A and B are shown apart, each in its own frame.
Chain A
Amino acid sequence: MTDPKDFVAVVDSDVRKTPRRIAFITKRTSPQVHVKDEERVMTYPEVFFRTAVAIQVLAIILVVISLRWNAPLEGLADPMHTPNPAKAPWYFLGLQELLHYFPPVVAGVLIPGLVVMALIVIPYFNINIEAEGLWLRDKTRRLRIFGTVVVLFCIFLAVFDVWVALVPTLIVAAFMLLAAQTPPQITRGFRGWLASKPLSFWIMTWFLFELVVLTAIGTFFRGPGWSWVWPWRT
C-alpha cells in the first residue's frame, strides 16, 4: 500500500483548526481533493438533547417491557438437580454450541481468544483502510486462494460435524463468488455494492452471521442433552 503508484497520502497541516486527518487518494479517484469546512452545531444544546431524547426513548421502551414481562426466576439453586439442558446466558450460547462440537480447549479458550485478539488488532493492520473491492484486482490469484481456504475450512467443519457453522460459511462464500462474478462495469445496485466490498467486510460479515446463527441455535433449538428441538413444538 505504500506503493506510490497506487495512491498518495496527504496530511492536513492545520492540526490546530481541525483534527488531523489522512486522505488516501487512489488512482481511480480524482486527484483534486475538495476540502471544505463542514457545517457544525453546538454540542449544547443540540447533541446533548438529541442524545438525551434517544436515551429516554430507549428507557421508555425498557420501562414498558419491564412493566409487562417479568424477569425469569426459577427455583432455588440446587447443586443436586442439574436442569437439562443447563444453558449459559444467551450471549454465551454461541460458544456453548461450539463446545458441543469441539473440545473445551478449542471452543472455550482458543476460539474466543482468537476472536478477541482479532478484534483488537483490526485497526493496527490497516485492515479495510484501502476499502477496495476484494475482486477488483488480481482476481484469478485471489480466487484461487479464496477457493483453497474455503474448501479446507469447510472440510474441517464437516469433519467435526459442525453443519450449523458450515451453512453460514457456504452462504457467505456464495455471495463472495457472486461478487467475484460481477463484471467491472456494474457499479450500482446490489451486485455493484457487493463487488465494492473489501476482504475485511466479508470476514466480519461471516463472523456476524456465524455469531447470530450459533447464538440463535443455542437459544432456541437446543433441548435436553443439547439435542436438536424445534421451538414451536413444545
Chain B
Amino acid sequence: MKNNLHALWQLFFGDSARAFGSASVILLVLLAVAPAKNYFSEWRHYQKQYLHLIRGRADAVTLERHFQGGIQQIWIPEQQVTDRCTTCHLGMKEASLADVNSVAFREHPVIPHKLTEFGCTTCHRGQGAATTVEEAHSATEQWEQPLLPAKYIEAGCGQCHLENQTGTPFLNQGRQLIVSYGCTHCHTIKQGDGIYLTPDDDPPSLKHIADKTTREWVYAWIKDPQAYAGTATMPNYHLNDDDARDVSAFILAQSTPLEPPLQPLKADTKAPADPAAGTSLYGQSFCASCHAMQNAAGMMVGGNVGPELTGIGTKAKPEWLQDWVGNPSHYDPGTMMPHYRFDAQQVVTLTGFLESKTEPDFIANVHLDPATPEQIEHGKRLVVENGCASCHDINGIKKPENFAPELSRIGSKPLNQLIFVEGVEHSLPGYVAGKVRNPRAFGPSLKMPQFKFTPQQIDAVTTALLALTDRAQSQPPTMRIASVQQTRYQPAGNAGQLMRDLRCFTCHMINGHGGDMAPDLTWEGTAVQREWLTQFLKNPETLRPALIRRMPKFNLTDAEINTLADYMMTVYQTPEFDRDSLPVSQFNPAQVEQGRQLFYSKFACQSCHIADYKNDKGYIGPALAATGKRFNAAWVYHWLKDPQALRPGTIEPNQHMTDDDARSLTAFLMSLKSGGAQEATKK
C-alpha cells in the first residue's frame, strides 16, 4: 500500500517537470470551478422552476413566448434603480398567474404604477442589483436595506406621496399620529419637499398654570397623564415620586398671575341651581363637537379637538373655569376654542356643570409638603433635562433646539449606527417600532418618554417614519406628489376680527386655511341666500341633528351677525359664475315637474338624498327638502353640472347632465321649501 502511494507520488510529483504538469492540471481544474459555479447559479435554478411551472398550464405557449432567459434588469438611472428582481420573479406581468401559490412567480397585484417606470426596490427596498435570494432580500454586511416587511409596505408609497391617499390608511394614520402627538416638538422632520412637519397638538402654556390648577393635580398628572384622561396625548416620563414632587414644585413656582387677574367666583356659582340646565347648555353649545366626556355608561362621547372633560372639576379651579368659559382667549390667546357669547347666568351654569365633573380618586392620595427652594431648583433642572419646554411655554426656560435626533432620513438609517437591545428585532423596522413602543427600553438614561399607543398605532407610526428615506429626500421633484398645505389666509377687517374671536378656522376651511371638521366656506357667499345665512348664524342648532359634531350657537348679537353675513356674502364668492345669474322666476311648473321626474327616476337621487321627509329614505347625502330656502339657483345648477369643480373630493357623482336636465332639476330643488326644519345642507 505504502509502496503504491509512493509510486503514485513519484508518477505525478517525482521530478520538478512532472510536479509542474500535475500542479498545472490541478490549477486548471480549480480555475474551471468558477465558471461552473456561475453556471449553477441560483437564478438559473428559479428560471428552470418557472419554466416547469408554466409548461403545465393551459396558456403555456403564450407564457413561454413571454419568457426570456438570462439575467433581466429594470434600469432607471435617474432614480438609481437597477433592479434584477424580474430575473427570478418571472410572472410579475402575467395576469394568468394570479393564482399561483409560489410568491416568486405570482402576478404582481394591480397597482397604478408600471414596473418599467418605477422598478421594484423603489417601493419594496432590498438590493435590486443582487441575483441571489439572500443578497436581494435580506440585510447583509454589504446591504443595509432589506426588503420592507409587508406590514410596513405603505412606507414605500409615502416616499413620493406626501398627500393622504385612500389606499394607504396606515401611512395616513401614522402621519396624523406624528403630528397630533407632537413628535415634531422635539424631533425635526423635514419631508422630501422641504416642508417641515409641524405638530398640531397645541400643548398648553404653563406660564400661568397656578391660576388654572393645583400642585397636587400637576403632580398626579406628570406621574401618569393617562390616569387622568385616557385620551391624553401627553407622554409618561416615568418620574419617581421625588422627581415628580420637584417638577410640580417648579412648575407651580414659575407660574405668574394672569394679567388682568382672574375674577373672584360669583357668589351663586358655588351651588348651581339646576344640574339639568348645565347638561342642557353643554349640549346646546355643542361642546361635544370638540370635547369628549365619559357618560354615565362609561362611554366616551365627543370630539378630540379639545381635551377630554371627564374630570375637569378635579383639574381646573372654579375661578379659572369661570374665566375660561367667559372668554378662553384671556387665559390662552392662541387657543382653538371659540369665544362664546354666554351671559352671566350661562357662565355660572356651565361652570357649575363642569365643576361637578370630578375624578376625586386621581389626587386622593397626593399629599405634598410646601416646596423648598432646593426642590424647586432640582425641579427646574429636571424640566430642562427632560425638555418640557419643547412643548410647553415655561417662564424662564427657552425652547430647546435640536433636543432630539432629526428623523428626516430615519427610514434609511444604517443599521450599524443603531444600538439594539435585547428583545428588539435586529432590523430598521424593528428598531423604529421598538423605539415608538417603549423608548426607555433602549437605556434608562434616554430622555424620550413613553407614549400611549396601541400596537396598531405603533405600526402606523413606524410606517410613516420608514417612509422618510434618502430616496424621498433626493429623488427628482417631478416624482413627488405634494401634500395639501395650509395657506396663511386671514380674513380682514371687523369681520375678520370676529371670525378669529369665534375661531371659525378651528372647524371651517376658507381659502385653504382652517380645519376639515365643517364645510369649506370659501364660496359660501355664492352658494347660499343671505337670509338663510343670518337665520343660521342666529340659530344654528337645528342643522344636522343626527350628528354629534355640529355648529354651536355662539349667541351673537344682530350687529355681529350682520357683519359676518355681509362679509361672507361679499367676499366668499366664486369667480366662475354670478350667484344671481339664474333667477328662480325663470322656472316654470313644467320644468319643476320634469325635474321631479329626473330626481326620482332618471338619476334616482332619492337613494342618497331626501326631498320629501314623508317618502324618501336616503341618508347618505344631506337632506334637500329646504334647498329653495338655503341655496341660490345658480349654485345648485353648477353643482349638478360638475360637483367636483366646486368642491374637489366630494363623493357626489358627476352625472354629466345635459344643460336642460340640470336646469329642470334645479327648478325642482329650488321649489323645495320645507317649512319649519331647514333640513338642507350643502353636502
Contacts and interface: CB of A to CB of B under 8 A. Distances in A.
In the complex, A touching B, CB below 8 Å? Answer: yes
Interface of A: 45-46, 49-50, 52-53, 56-57, 59-60, 63-64, 66-67, 72-75, 81, 83-84
A75 B142 contact: yes
B114 interface: no
Q: Is the interface of A mostly helix, strand, loop or mixed?
A: helix
Identify which of B30, B33, B144 gathers the most chain A CB atoms within 10 Å of its CB: B30
B16 A46 contact: yes
Nearest to A73: B142
Contacts of B142: 73-75
27 contacts: A45-B16, A46-B16, A52-B23, A53-B16, A53-B19, A53-B20, A53-B23, A56-B23, A57-B23, A59-B27, A60-B23, A60-B30, A63-B27, A63-B30, A63-B31, A63-B33, A67-B30, A67-B34, A67-B37, A72-B141, A75-B142, A75-B143, A75-B414, A81-B414, A81-B417, A83-B416, A84-B416
A53 B416 CA distance: 45
A67 B33 contact: yes
Nearest to A82: B417
Contacts of B111: none
A43 to B, nearest CB: 12
B17 interface: yes
B557 interface: no
Nearest to B142: A73
Ranked 9 nearest A-B pairs via Cβ = A49-B16, A56-B23, A63-B30, A49-B20, A53-B19, A73-B142, A50-B16, A53-B23, A52-B20
A66 B27 CA distance: 13
Contacts of A72: 141
A80 to B, nearest CB: 10
B24 interface: yes
Contacts of A57: 23
A59 to B, nearest CB: 6
A49 B17 contact: yes
A160 B26 CA distance: 53
Nearest to A49: B16
Q: Is the interface of B mostly helix, strand, loop or mixed?
A: helix
Given A60-B23, A60-B27, A63-B31, 10 more contacts: A52-B20, A53-B23, A56-B26, A60-B30, A63-B30, A72-B141, A74-B141, A74-B142, A75-B143, A75-B414
Contacts of B143: 75
Contacts of B31: 63
Nearest to B19: A53
Nearest to B419: A224
A72 B142 CA distance: 8
A73 B141 CA distance: 8
Nearest to B34: A67
Interface residues of B, number: 20
A230 B17 CA distance: 48
Contacts of B19: 49, 53
A164 B416 CA distance: 28
Interface in B2-20: 16-17, 19-20
Given A49-B19, A52-B20, A67-B37, A75 B30 contact: no
Contact of B27 (A56, A67, A74): A56
Identify which of A46, A56, A83, A84 gathers the most chain B CB atoms within 10 Å of its CB: A56
A52 to B, nearest CB: 5
Nearest to B16: A49
Contacts of B33: 63, 67
A129 to B, nearest CB: 35
Contacts of B27: 56, 59-60, 63
Contacts of A59: 27
B15 to A, nearest CB: 8
A84 B142 CA distance: 16
A154 to B, nearest CB: 38
Contacts of A73: 142
Nearest to B33: A67
Contacts of A74: 141-142
A160 to B, nearest CB: 31
A74 B141 CA distance: 6
B168 to A, nearest CB: 28
A47 to B, nearest CB: 9
Nearest to A57: B23
Contacts of B37: 67
B126 to A, nearest CB: 14
A3 to B, nearest CB: 47
A60 to B, nearest CB: 5
Nearest to B31: A63
B418 to A, nearest CB: 12
A44 B660 CA distance: 108
Nearest to B15: A49
A46 B144 CA distance: 53
B17 A45 contact: yes
Interface in B535-552: none
A52 B16 CA distance: 9
B414 A60 contact: no
A203 to B, nearest CB: 38
A57 B143 CA distance: 35
Contacts of A67: 30, 33-34, 37
B16 A64 contact: no
Contacts of B20: 49, 52-53, 56
A224 to B, nearest CB: 10
Contacts of B26: 56, 60
A75 B141 CA distance: 8
A46 B142 CA distance: 47
Interface in B87-108: none
B36 to A, nearest CB: 10
Interface in B409-454: 414, 416-417
Nearest to B414: A81
B410 to A, nearest CB: 14
A67 B38 CA distance: 11
A119 to B, nearest CB: 34
B407 to A, nearest CB: 16
Interface string B124-151: 0000000000000000011110000000
B11 to A, nearest CB: 15
A49 B14 CA distance: 12
A49 B144 CA distance: 48
B427 to A, nearest CB: 16
Nearest to A59: B27
Nearest to B143: A75
Contacts of B144: 75
Nearest to A74: B142
Contacts of B30: 60, 63-64, 67
A161 to B, nearest CB: 28
A106 to B, nearest CB: 31
A74 B139 CA distance: 12
Interface in B261-297: none
A124 B453 CA distance: 78
A204 B31 CA distance: 40
A74 B23 CA distance: 35
Contacts of A75: 142-144, 414
A98 to B, nearest CB: 26
Contacts of A49: 16-17, 19-20
Nearest to B409: A80
Contacts of A45: 16-17
Nearest to B24: A56
A71 to B, nearest CB: 11
Contacts of B416: 83-84
A75 B412 CA distance: 12
A228 to B, nearest CB: 18
Identify which of B20, B143, B144, B414 gathers the most chain A CB atoms within 10 Å of its CB: B20
A81 B16 CA distance: 54
Interface string B554-577: 000000000000000000000000
A81 B26 CA distance: 45
A64 B20 CA distance: 18
A83 B415 CA distance: 11
A57 B24 CA distance: 9
